[in-house]
Amino acid sequence: MSLTLILQGLMTIIVGYVGIKLKKREEEKEKEREESEAIKNGIRAVLRDRILQAYNHFSRIGKIQIEELENISNMYIAYHNLGGNGVVTSVYNKVLQIPHELKKED
């Protein structure tokens, strides 16, 4: 057996091995992207739900404390940064219209 054939055989094995490893790594990266997107969608859904619940609650009460408004604002910013849509933006703008009050001291 010639040295050339041996080297060709080794190169074939090495290239095949590297190809398999690269494919496996690409599959892992795709799975990570899918999981990341699922987490992002889940967080966005929870934020959307909390903002809508807060609006329903405080609009019934007819007032909102500044601290609560700050919490809703922080949730809205995170929701928006995660790619949230205009439906929650319109609800958030309605929250901003609810009369504000300072926290009452105990």
Could you tell me where the DSSP H helices lie in 62-100?
A: 66-81, 86-97
Render the burial of 12-46: b for 16+ CB within 10 Å, e for the rest.
eeeeeeeeeeeeeeeeeeeeeeeeeeeeeeeebee
pTM: 0.76
| Residue 104 pLDDT greater than 90, yes or no | no
- Could you tell me the two tokens for 79? 């929701």
Residue 52's pLDDT band (cuts 50, 70, 90): very high
| Residue 47 pLDDT greater than 90, yes or no | yes
Q: Which whole number is the average pLDDT over 36-60? A: 97
| Residue 5 pLDDT greater than 90, yes or no | no
